[in-house]
Structure 1
Amino acid sequence: MMNSPFYPTLYQVNTRVRLRQLSNQLNRFATLDDFPDSELDQWVNLGFNWVYLLGVWETGVLGRNVSRSHPDWRREYEELLSDLQEEDICGSCFAITRYQVSEILGGNEALLRLKKRLHQREIKLMLDFVPNHTAPDSPWVEEHSDFYIFATLNDLQREPLNYVQIPLAGENRVFAHGRDPYFPGWPDTLQLNYNNPAVPQAMLAELLKVAQLCDGVRCDMAMLILPEIFEQTWGMTTELFWPEAIRQVRKQSQDFVFMAEVYWDMEWRLQQQGFDFTYDKKLYDRLLEKQADPVFKHFWADIHYQSKLVRFLENHDESRAAATFASGVHQAAAILTYFCPGLRFFHEGQLQGFTQKISVHLGRGPKQLTDANLASFYHHLLTCLRLPVLRQGTWQLLDCHNAWENNFTYKNFIAFTWQSDEQRLLIAVNYSSYSGQCYLQLPFDDFKNRTCKLKDLMSSTYYERQGDELLSSGLYLDLPAWGYHVFDLR
């Protein structure tokens, strides 16, 4: 197995949508074998260490029927695709019938061939694992109905969004939909019952099978099966699943990576249970507020914790960054997101500045125009992220000081350095809607009696400053609204 950088970059691909595009080009059904070498080479050239293929597992007819008949979802599809066809609605890729690559995509054999091609390019493969629920037509419903949470007709009448009646063994049984405790159930899923000891055993067996097909998993809503969350949702006690499951998988695949989709301040808890990386939705939310102080304080967290956070500006659940962040704000937020420690997560279409989000229930997306300015920006950003100092270096948050008395704009600056034996970087962002000034105290004692050259890697800006001045008063910065520098210090 190839080695990973300490802070890797990951690229998420909507597999079903991408293969639909290739099918149109090839005039036949495309499979995973049809990903062209040129596309894989492009991922290498962009510096990605991981490719996360969304939606490769088998889904079923019942889940697809729900996706096609749900009125709110249907309106969303029609808003996205003016020429929507029934075949475009292929069902949620998180309503999984079994952990086997869909034959439409080429089956497990095609996936393994693609994995080999990725490994030849030093790229690892990540796939989905959904621990909380299955599709309503999973084989387990017939073969192991006791794996699920049952309810009564009264429950169904009282909470019709959380339960469903399914004919089983000659009678209608009421099943619970998968859900979290704060929202109605997902109507195309059935909730697994982790109070039954056979369920974690069965899910571990599935996980071990998945681990033979990829190098890591993104675990959907991973906190839902924590004992305290499961009891809050379902009133049942359970045992811990993740620590033992992760240990067993790593006995089989030592370097296997676990990434958790997680919210509700459960990130550290899941890291302690063995997860390599956990979603950092808090940073995303704080950047949306467009206030520097919450973002700056977010970076106070312990570096060992931050190193395991997944930094993103969009994914299949969030709105497109180009539609959410105004021009200027987008670039400033991206600099803060991707130049801090952690796993850097990029979503297909983000690099082109696409604005329309594609539902996970669809197998086709609209044609979207590339934003040339954003495409150029991300090209430069990804070029920077390939630098060894940003993959293996040491990160340090800096304090900003006022440029003169009663000038409080320094509070809008967020700045940090990266250091290695070969290189030093200084990143500074004025995360506000107005210009600002500050002094930065730099942690480089060897500047004494030297001239310091500052070359901005994201622009043509270049400065020379005397080291003694930088050590005494600091580096003076004057940046416009949402302005930033990514300085290479020499």
Structure 2
Amino acid sequence: MTSVYEINTWPWLAGLGVGSLADVPGAVWDELIGFDAVWLMGVWERSPAGLGIARSNEALQREFHAALPDLSDRDIVGSPYCVRRYEVDQHLGGRDGLAAARSELARRGLKLILDYVPNHVAPDHPAVTEHPDWFINGSPEDLARDPGSWFAAGDRVIARGRDPYFPPWPDVAQLNAFHPDLRAATLSTLRDVAAQCDGVRCDMAMLVFNDIFAGTWGDRAGPRPAEEFWPAIIAELKDELLFIAEAYWDTEWELQQQGFDLCYDKRLYDRLVHGDADAVRGHLRAGLDYQNKLLRFIENHDEPRAATALPGPRGRAAAVALATLPGSTLWHDGQFEGRRVKLPVFLGRFPDEPVDEGLRDFYDRLVVLRDAGQWRLLDTPDVLAWTWEGSATRHLVVINFSQEPIWTRVRLPWPTAGEQWRLTDLLDGRVFDRDGDDLAAGGLVVGLLAWGFHVLETRR
């Protein structure tokens, strides 16, 4: 199990009032002890061309002003997913600044995660003119007919990057995942990235699947390769990097088979935000060989803030589920303090928001929980329930994932008769003493308010 803490690097540094990753105070890094890895999102060199597009795009401007009512031009710094070069942006301290940050994290037992974007680069990335064959190429007629999908680069017409379900992104150039030289260049770039971090989070990793890429680009992509994009690349770097996939469209299992260590669990997110206990329970019936490679979250830079998507007690119930399930967890800077504004990734400053001290105290107690032993889902009606059984402790998690109070009986999966049982709630400290014969006969009687929960520990 890996616990990852995501930081939106540019506005985070601005909030700290420092100009380089090398200048982050040690006390700030100390606050991250207890996680396993820190994802410094958005460290690579941002594109002047992309910045110009962002500053002139009316739809983006409306989004920027909604997040920062006092927006100024200097707050717009460009998208971290419009990468001009895989060099650490000088505004963040360059390669030396990142190395200093990595050293500080390593001293605290924390790994460093960085981004990689396989599908596209900035329109002013050097490869656009130096290696135009690495991109999806079009014709002057394509550009004249649909300038929103194409742009001119020297004597070439290059496709704007896209996924198949949305219009093209206006600020990026579409790489050709089928081109063998592009695949070789990807491996070379990732080798250099591997020298600077411990893992990569691969943006929209499924877009370069042969089936998906061929369905998106057809004959423009050229001959379909016999091999998939990821397996050979990951095999070369498996001993150097942890590979995390941003995954959608039920591609998680296939990404795992292609070599990814962890994949986003977007389905669980959707069920926690929009579903009920039955939907969540059904999702958790998957095999542990699959679940152990999922990265669970209720907030990241792409999703609405949890304080708005999962307000109040429902958000706490969802967080308890997240923290006590098999697999790994992704937490987002600002989530614990109850930030409500989803900051567009183009912006370099957070708005001022009050800290929810009660929520922060809840998360401080929650995120230190660690799985212990074997996980088992309990088929208990009306609630979510599971256990962890280790050599020294047993844990029972019960969550009323509904808006109505509930009483239920939970059948424990381990022998209980003939003993006195003391169950301690790790989140609020309450202690429950129960007779083992009663537990064996009728199970543990549990009463919970709407969105209530217990994380109970008993020692052997």
Sort the TM-score into its range (normalised by shorter chain): over 0.9
1:264-303 aligned within 5 A: 264-303=249-288
**Unpaired segments of 5 or more residues in structure 1?**
1-6, 401-409
Measured against aligned partners, the alpha-carbon deviations of 1:42-82 in whole angstroms (never above 9, x if no partner) come to: 111xx111000011101121011111111111101111112
Aligned to 2:50: 63
Give 4+ residue runs of structure 1 displaced > 4 Å after superposition. none
Q: What do residues 197-220 of structure 1 show as CA deviations (whole Å, max 9, x unaligned)? A: 111011110011101100000000
Work out whether residues 246 and 263 of structure 2, in 8 Å CA contact, stay in contact via their aligned partners in 1. yes
Instruction: For 1:142-291, list aligned pairs within 5 A.
Output: 142-166=129-153, 168=154, 171=155, 173-235=156-218, 236=221, 237-238=224-225, 239-250=227-238, 254-291=239-276
Amino acid at match of 2:169: W
When residues 469 and 229 of structure 1 are mapped into structure 2, their CA distance, relative to the original with a 3 A threshold, is same
The Cα offsets for residues 181-235 of structure 1, whole Å up to 9 and x where unpaired, read as 1001111100001222111011110011101100000000000001011001001
Give the Cα separation in 2 of the matches to 1:382 and 1:202.
Answer: 39
Letter in 1 for 2:26: D
Q: C-alpha distance in 2, partners of 1:307/1:39?
A: 30
Task: Classify the secondary structure of the residue corresponding to 2:447.
Answer: strand
Distance 1:159 1:476, change over 3 A: farther
Query: Are the structure 2 counterparts of residues 162 and 117 from structure 1 closer, same or farther at C-alpha, using a change threshold of 3 Å?
Result: same
Give identity over the alignment, percent.
Answer: 43
Find the partner of 1:357 among 318, 337, 342: 342
Residue 318 of structure 1 and its aligned partner are, at CA, apart by 0.2
The residue type paired with residue 19 of structure 1 is: L
Paired residue for 2:296? 311
| CA positional deviation for 1:157 | 4.6
Conserved? CA contact 1:63–1:189, under 8 Å: yes
Of 434, 437, 440, the residue aligned with 1:471 is 440
Structure 1 counterpart of 2:384, one-letter code: I
Tell me, yes or no, if structure 1 residue 81 matches structure 2 residue 68. yes
Contact 1:395 1:418 survives alignment (8 Å): yes
Distance 2:13 2:80 in 1: 14
2-side partners of 1:255 and 1:58: how far apart? 23
Aligned to 2:386: 416
Distance 1:255 1:164, change over 3 A: closer
1:427 aligns with 2:407: no
Aligned equivalents of 2:36, 2:88: Cα separation in 1:
22
Equivalents in 2 of 1:154, 1:295: separation in Å? Answer: 49
Per-residue Cα deviation, 1:435-459 (whole angstroms, up to 9, x for no partner): 11211111112x2210011111112
Question: Is it true that 1:482 corresponds to 2:448 in the alignment?
Answer: no
The aligned amino acid for 1:229 is: I
Distance 1:102 1:160 in 2: 30
Q: Which amino acid in the other structure matches residue 442 of structure 2?
A: S
CA contact (8 A) 1:290 1:432 kept: no
Report the 3-state secondary structure (helix = DSSP H, G, I; strand = E; otherwise coil) of the residue aligned with 1:300. Answer: coil
**Is residue 312–residue 338 contact of structure 1 (8 Å, CA) maintained in 2?**
no
Cα distance between partner residues in 1 of 2:291 and 2:85: 34
Q: 2:109 aligns with which of 113, 122, 126?
A: 122
Q: CA deviation at 1:255?
A: 4.9
User: Residue 409 of structure 2 aligns to which amino acid in structure 1?
Assistant: Y
* Structure 2 residue 12 is matched with structure 1 residue 9: no
User: How many positions carry a matched residue from both structures?
Assistant: 454
CA distance in 2 between partners of 1:362 and 1:184 (Å): 22
| Aligned CA distance change for structure 1 residues 331 and 112 (closer, same or farther; 3 Å) | same
1:33 equivalent in structure 2: 22
**Deviation (angstroms), 1:8:** 1.6
Deviations 1:94-128, CA, capped at 9 Å, x for gaps: 00011111122121122112111211111000000
User: What's the offset of the Cα at 1:152?
Assistant: 2.6
Residue 294 to residue 157, structure 1, CA distance change in 2 (3 Å): farther
**Structure 2 CA distance, aligned partners of 1:20 and 1:328?**
32
- 2-structure distance, mates of 1:330, 1:161: 39
RMSD: 1.3
- Does the Cα contact within 8 Å between 2:323 and 2:367 map onto a contact in 1? no
1:436 aligned onto 2:406: yes
Given that residues 277 and 384 in structure 2 are in contact (C-alpha distance below 8 angstroms), is that contact kept between their aligned partners in structure 1? yes
Partners of 1:190 and 1:374 in 2: how far apart?
A: 41
- Opposite residue 183 of structure 1, the aligned amino acid is F
Shift, 1:158, TM fit: 4.4
Amino acid at match of 2:73: E
- Mapped partners of 2:324, 2:451: distance in 1: 15
Query: Is the partner of 1:313 in helix, strand or coil?
Result: coil
Tell me which residue corresponds to 1:141.
Answer: 128
Rounded Cα–Cα distance in structure 2 between residues aligned with 1:195 and 1:376: 49
